[in-house]
Amino acid sequence: MNVTDSSYDFSAMHERMQFYIDQDILSCCATAVFKGTDLVDYQTFGYMDTESKTPLRKDAIFRMYSNTKLVTSVALMMLHEEGLFDLDDPLAKFMPEFGDLQVLKPDATGVADTSPAKNMISVRHILSHSAGLSYGFIEPTSVIDQAYMNGGVNVLADASIDLEEFCLRVAKLPLAYEPGTSWRYSVATDVCARLVEVLSGQTFDEFLRMRIFGPLAMVDTDFWVPEEKADRFTTMYAPEDIFDPMKPGLNKADDSHAGQYNTRRALLSGGGGLVSTVPDYAAFLRMVVNGGEWAGVRILKAETLQLMRTNQLADGVQVAFPMWAMPGTAFGLGFALKTELQADDPPTALGEYHWGGMAGTHSWMAPEANLTGFCLTQRMPGFWHPFSHEFKAMTYAIAG
């Protein structure tokens, strides 16, 4: 992957990313910046692992976690283009287990404090995290997340069941709210992955290989890392203190040769299961910003992508996390959307669409600035970390 326009000076941003390595806050960092589809900067910092201090490779393989969600959402919308579903179709039309659901009462103190759902979950709801599903780890003391943990739904700890069994378990749990009335980050994108299987008749990984990864030459993107590629697989680290993101110190959290990604797993998590490289995922991002086509291959229509970048939430509903502030953010079909500028945002950030992964892989596309940024590390947790905010702010200042 070669830089095609070197007229921008990114040295200040490079120095700041190197700071995070030098301070032992990040083990590694890779950054790529595009103007349109032209690569204007691509740098690597730090190490494949801090023990050997092998420099981070340009073709290093990263755990993408929730950057997987963008791929899954595109995959499902490909089937929408084929007329296999309408966005407002009930999910139960294709997955009957979601046909008779209970909703937690607002004052619920336990999992049994429910009432029958008045609304059906639609496909639109699962693409926009407005279905009433949850995750099980975002708010672990809540009634809903306790239900997920006790119900055998834990995407971070258990990959031993397939998508079909996973969704059967999810469907037995109560909803956090009436479908379509709020927003909650959730396993909804894993449900989207299962819907791809149901509609296409293929396993999720087969569909992705045939319809996205193969056509875009994403040769290192998969749900696991075979032994012949393990030397290119990064080691993941956990911080000394998850509540102090700028405190130095890292501890190994997943190995590159003997970790959870080194064997095939049953759960093909559409919400967070992929591994990829900067060149591979850059091909996917270029396709997205280029109106659905890249390298002579059309994945989606431009109007489909425009729909995905349109707010799908009810009036007054915004993206909300208990631990990360995202003011002025709504949600489309797979993408978070910047609908209101904040004090530190440049004017060209309005309309930015984005998402990232728990271990620190963040991508964002800004149509008004004709700018795309992609920064990755392997720190768990590393989502919404200061390094990614500084990368974005400095990239806008330099090229936006």
397: in domain: yes
Domain match, 97 and 116 both: yes
Domain match, 217 and 292 both: yes
- What is the number of residues in the chain? 400
CA distance 370 to 14: 21
Q: How many domains does the chain have?
A: 2
Is the pLDDT confidence value at 321 over 90?
A: no
CA distance 53 to 113: 53
Domain match, 95 and 113 both: yes
Tell how far CA 265 is from the center of its chain: 19
The average confidence (pLDDT) of the chain is 96
The two tokens of residue 77 are: 């919308």
Contact 33, 40 (CB under 8 A): yes
Average pLDDT of span 52-59: 97
295: in domain: yes
291: in domain: yes
Q: Give the model's confidence band at 151: pLDDT under 50 very low, under 70 low, under 90 confident, else very high.
A: confident
What's the confidence (pLDDT) of residue 4? 83
Domain match, 55 and 162 both: no
Domain match, 173 and 118 both: yes
pLDDT in tens, 58-116: 999 999 999 999 999 999 999 999 999 999 999 999 999 999 999 999 988 999 999 99
Domain match, 21 and 152 both: no
pLDDT in tens, 16-40: 999 999 999 999 999 999 999 999 9
Stretch among 170-174, 360-364, 380-384 having the lowest mean pLDDT:
380-384
356: in domain: no
The two tokens of residue 55 are: 């420099």
Contact 191, 126 (CB under 8 A): yes
Contact 176, 102 (CB under 8 A): no
Closest Cα partner for 144 from 110, 119, 172, 185? Answer: 110
Domain that holds residue 114: 63-223+265-340
Q: Please name every residue paired with 31 in a beta bridge, in sequence order, or none if there are none.
A: 43, 375
The two tokens of residue 225 are: 């890392």
What's the confidence (pLDDT) of residue 384? 86
Closest Cα partner for 79 from 353, 341, 317, 299? Answer: 299
Domain match, 42 and 163 both: no
347: in domain: no
What's the confidence (pLDDT) of residue 388? 96
Q: What is the CA radius of gyration of the chain?
A: 20
SS3 332: coil
Average pLDDT of span 201-209: 98
Is the pLDDT confidence value at 138 over 90?
A: no
Domain match, 171 and 296 both: yes
Does a cis peptide bond (omega within 30 degrees of 0) precede residue 346?
Answer: no
Contact 40, 4 (CB under 8 A): yes
Return the ∠ at Cα 220 (arms to 31 and 190), rounded to 5°: 90
Which letter does DSSP use for residue 175 in this model? Answer: B
Q: Where are the alpha helices (DSSP H) in 151-227?
A: 163-171, 188-200, 204-208
What's the confidence (pLDDT) of residue 49? 97
CB-facing half-sphere around the CA of 338: CA atoms within 13 A: 21
Domain match, 188 and 299 both: yes
What's the confidence (pLDDT) of residue 285? 98
Closest Cα partner for 379 from 249, 223, 222? Answer: 249
CB-facing half-sphere around the CA of 49: CA atoms within 13 A: 16
CATH of the domain at 309: 3.40.710.10
Domain match, 14 and 116 both: no
Domain match, 54 and 198 both: no
H or E segment to which residue 276 belongs: strand 275-276
pLDDT in tens, 215-257: 999 999 999 999 999 999 999 999 999 889 999 999 999 999 9
345: in domain: no
CA distance 350 to 362: 18
348: in domain: no
The two tokens of residue 304 are: 């489909």
Domain match, 21 and 36 both: yes
H or E segment to which residue 34 belongs: strand 28-35
Q: Structure pTM?
A: 0.96
Which letter does DSSP use for residue 13 in this model? Answer: H
135: in domain: yes
Return the ∠ at Cα 324 (arms to 327 and 385), rounded to 5°: 115
Contact 147, 174 (CB under 8 A): yes
H or E segment to which residue 38 belongs: strand 38-49
